[in-house]
Amino acid sequence: MKTFKELFLEMSGKALSKVSDDFKSKSDDFTHGRQFSYLAGLMRNRNHKQLSKEMKGFISRNKEMKDVIVKVLSKHLKPYEVKSIVEDIEITDRTGKALDVAQRYIKTYKTTRRPVPKIIEKGRDKFILKGPDEKLVADMLSDKSIGALKNVNVKTRKVK
């Protein structure tokens, strides 16, 4: 008898192989064929965190393909799995210290191999993290362990 976790991983593995087959069938496309074949190979990855991180990075580099990618993913995956891949994180901070800490983090790791998210400023007290490792940076900003953000109220939420 299989446990629930084994059944869940088996189901998601089958769904991922169906998504991979869909992307492979689209690889004959003249303009984006190479990207679709890359996505087909990427879907064979069993590590869901790594897959999510690489898909976010791919979508941020190929914005014109986002609609097609979301259609294919939503055809075979559950809605919460697609949301975790596609959504970005909005940070709200009235003091501006969280934006400063995020910019310093990105400046520090930009020249290394570590993937860094992009910052899209929406106003004086809001900004959006977009791309790979956005969840890591958002968790770091909302955590009270950083000395500069101890007494600051930082709120995070997911946006499309």
120 and 137 in a single domain? The answer is: yes
**Containing domain of residue 128, as a range?**
88-159
Domain boundary among 24, 52, 86: 86
User: Each residue of 104-128: pLDDT tens digit?
Assistant: 888 888 888 888 888 888 777 888 8
Mean pLDDT of all residues belonging to the chain: 77
33 and 73 in a single domain? The answer is: yes
Domain boundary among 57, 86, 115: 86
Domain boundary among 42, 65, 86: 86
Q: How many domains does the chain have?
A: 2
Say whether pLDDT at 1 is over 50: no
DSSP assignment of 37-71 equals HHHHHHTT---HHHHHHHHHHHHHH-GGGHHHHHH
Gap between the Cα atoms of 61 and 82, Å rounded: 18
